[in-house]
Structure 1
Amino acid sequence: MQTNFTPEQLADPGIATANKILRTCVHCGFCTATCPTYQVLGDELDSPRGRIYLIKDMLEAGRPADAKTALHVDRCLSCLACMTTCPSGVDYMHLIDHARVHVERTFRRPWHDRALRWLLAAIIPHPGRFRLALLGARLARPFARLMPDARLRAMLRMAPARIAGPSRDDLGATFPPIDPRRARVALLTGCAQKALDPEINDATIRLLRRAGCEVVIPENLGCCGALTHHMGREEQAMRSARAAIHAFLRADAVEKLDAIIINASGCGTTVKDYGHMFAHDPDREGAARVAGLARDVTEFLDSHGLPPVTSPQGLRVAYHAACSLQHGQKIVAAPKSLLGAAGYQVVTPVDSHLCCGSAGTYNLLQPKLSAELRARKLRTIEALGPQIVAAGNIGCMMQIGSGTDVPVVHTVQLLDWATGGPPPPAWESAHPEATRPIAPLAQPA
């Protein structure tokens, strides 16, 4: 693609990067075949190629974003399926990220849109606030039908039946390995996940300890910045990311870490991108160190080794590949091979490359499109007749679980169960006849 940026424009590192990305696009349109929003809407401007044209025009002209550009940029899921498909290697992720920042800075949205985005950015990255918000949403859920805005209705329906209390890891902790120690790892405990399903972190810690890992949860570890980053709120995202980088580096300084384990794939894609985000920042070396250590929990266990399987269940598991894992991090085989090694019968839905419609806050900001994508995903999953669904991202779990009676759990919870841990709570809720006491996590060292 030919571009016409001025030398003055190209002096901006962000524009220089965007220019390089734009020039790799050859207009082939392969991306339209795997773009979920294009499949639903059939509008060229709701495909990666169409958005690239809009972004190019906006950035070259050096103008503020207009309503048309903001609409189509906002409709992008950032699922990155187009990057998996693209034969030219167009770095769409960094282009759409740059466009979101430009839109957020230069386009004045209607007041109710601004208020909603501010509210989401102020609440979800903070587990304590998010727990209170979920409690309020659960109390107000019976009145959801009376809400005039579909986005407000989606927010109320998001609240789980049980609201978790504060996690013991909020203040940092170290959990010793089951001897002998083979690795020292830090765990990113997340923000939304701690409020929505803290058992995922507990299962991760149990599993890693059995695999001979000392598990460190750094003090003052908050949000990684992923959620606000994908909303285009660059300053807020960078503050969160910087705080996370410093927290991990402090733990690394005490004794070298072998890996930083991440069990929410949306967070993992962002943390692995810290080197790019901080490329022109004084913290770039630390950011690169953290990004280089980051591993999805299945990615780490695939190379480190799974603990001995003691309780194979033989369940038929439909594996849902989160977009941030399969497209963002290019991790495709590891989760399925680990589940198979743990004794599960793994089945994969058709069109597994397509997004379920969660995409961070997308299901709250674009509820109509999100609901259509969820319905399509559920049809492919339920066609397999699974006993349980596994996914590697809390957003996907909430999105899929809100539309089916089939228990939806994190992949790590099934691996924990097969290697001596308790059944996932979602499975026990669906099968109360098989319940048993949950094993304690064990006290930190």
Structure 2
Amino acid sequence: MQTNLSEQARTLARADEAESILRSCVHCGFCNATCPTYQVLGNELDGPRGRIYLIKQLLEGEDVGAKTQQHLDRCLSCRNCETTCPSGVTYHALLDIGRAELERRVARPTGERMLREGLRQVIPRPMVFKTLLTAGRLARPFLPTSLRQKIPVDKVAAKPRPPARHSRRMLILEGCVQPALSPNTNAATARVLDRLGISVIAAPQAGCCGATDYHLNAQDAGLARARRNIDAWWPAIEAGAEAIVLTASGCGAFVKEYGHLLRDDPRYATKAARTSELARDLVEVLRAEPLDALQTGERKRIAFHCPCTLQHAQKLGGAVEAILTRLGYDLTDVPDAHLCCGSAGTYSITQPELAATLRERKLDALESGQPDLIATANIGCQTHLAGANRTRVQHWIELIEDALQ
């Protein structure tokens, strides 16, 4: 579409990128057909095409306010529209640029600012999150239903990990909330990869991938976390680490963007590009290995929820399903499997009503084939879906590890 950025917008670091993305959109509207929020709300401004127009107006210098912010906030960043778009519009990058500029120009209500700052102070800090989760479990019976659903009842302990004994070694990102919410996921990963002759090692200095800060429009803070992770991983990378294994697809999608997001940083551009090259979702690691060593003989009936960050961001839709099928699991058909469950990082907290609607639709689809349980590949989706207290939800690697035992 024809675009004429304002003089102010042209001073932005990513102005050229924004203009290029805007010009690539032919406003065909195919994106709206697969946009979860457009399907629920039916408002043009709550679909990708409408949001692109809003960002265009913002960057062309037109007046914007709380309504514009509301429509951009409602976007899940699921990137379903990018899978659908015939013109290859990199919508998520434009959304990041637009949200950052809007955050600078439009003040949020005090309550929203406090909520977002609270999320940024808690979620990326594993010990803080774990402490508050423990307190929340104790207080759970006395909390309102909306908050009680976000606190898992089960407290699962992580099983021991094997020692690093193989010549093949890979780094693993422990994650922010996963060690507290699902501590056995990474431990199961370590044991399965050990069976395949691969040792996984964690760099203690590596922390949150940066996605929480970045997608709450604290983009500088998110990139600072990315730089810290690169520094933490770099000695192992130089020593020959084969890959960086990501067991949460949300983290994987963001780490794979380090190279793009830091491409203009003279100190980190090369290292960031190398880090993104080494980033592998767990399914990418396993599908390249001889899976005969993992034959389980399982015949459980499984519904697999493929997270948006796996199928739309990383383009790995069908990869986990193929592995589970090879290992003997009976996978059910899931209608509208491309649609978001409503978790989307912190979205289920900042947009609870929309998130709950999307979750119910997703669970109806997942349960339509009467599975024994639901498997997924992202801790956010796992916790969000499990919060409805319907069918049990588990990370797919734990299913495999349990069957091996």
Specify the TM-score bucket, using the shorter chain as the normaliser: over 0.9
Contact 2:157 2:184 in 1 (8 A): no
Partner of 2:351: 366
- Note if contact 1:378-1:404 (Cα within 8 Å) is conserved in structure 2: no
Q: Which runs of 5+ in 2 are unaligned?
A: none
- Aligned residue for 1:308, secondary structure, equals helix
Question: Match for 1:159: what amino acid?
Answer: I
User: Partner amino acid for 1:402?
Assistant: G
Alignment check: 8 A CA contact 2:343 2:384 kept: yes
- TM-score for the superposition, normalised by structure 2: 0.95
Name 2:134's counterpart in structure 1.
Answer: 135
How far does residue 157 in structure 1 lie from its aligned partner after superposition? 2.6
1:243 equivalenced with 2:228 (yes/no): yes
Q: Which runs of structure 1 show a deviation greater than 3 angstroms over 4 or more consecutive aligned residues?
A: 6-13, 153-156, 162-169
Shift in Å, 1:359: 0.3
After superposition, residues 214-363 of structure 1 pair within 5 angstroms as 214-253=199-238, 255-281=239-265, 282-306=267-291, 308-363=293-348
2:27 aligned partner: 27
Give the TM-score, by structure 1 length: 0.87
CA RMSD, Structure 1 to Structure 2 (Å)? 2.0
Given that 2:307 and 2:377 are in contact with CA atoms closer than 8 Å, whether structure 1 keeps it comes out as yes
The correspondence of residues 35-434 of structure 1 with structure 2, limited to 5 A, is 35-61=35-61, 65-145=64-144, 154-163=146-155, 175-177=164-166, 181=167, 183-253=168-238, 255-281=239-265, 282-306=267-291, 308-418=293-403, 420-421=404-405
1:220 to partner: Cα distance: 0.9
The 1-side partners of 2:164 and 2:28 are apart by 51
Offset at residue 9 of structure 1 (A): 4.2
The 3-state SS of whatever aligns with 2:206 is coil
1:109/1:6 Cα in 2 relative to 1: closer, same or farther (>3 Å)?
Answer: closer
Separation in structure 2 between the aligned mates of residue 287 and residue 31 of structure 1, nearest angstrom: 31
The whole-number CA distance in structure 2 between the counterparts of 1:157 and 1:167 is 26
Check 1:131–1:408 CA distance in 2 against 1; reply closer, same or farther (3 A cut).
same
Percent identity, aligned pairs only, is 43
Deviation for aligned residue 1:105:
2.7
Amino acid at match of 2:78: C
Q: Which letter maps to 1:407? A: R
8 Å CA contact 2:249–2:378 kept in 1: the answer is yes
Q: Structure 1: 5+ residue runs without aligned partners?
A: 146-152, 422-445
One-letter amino acid matched to 2:222: A
Deviates more, 1:29-38 or 1:124-133: 124-133
Which stretch shows the higher mean deviation, 317-326 or 397-406?
Answer: 397-406
Q: Does the Cα contact within 8 Å between 1:338 and 1:415 map onto a contact in 2?
A: no
Output the CA distance in 2 between the equivalents of 1:67 and 1:308.
Answer: 56
Residues 391 and 397, structure 1, Cα contact 8 Å, conserved in 2: yes
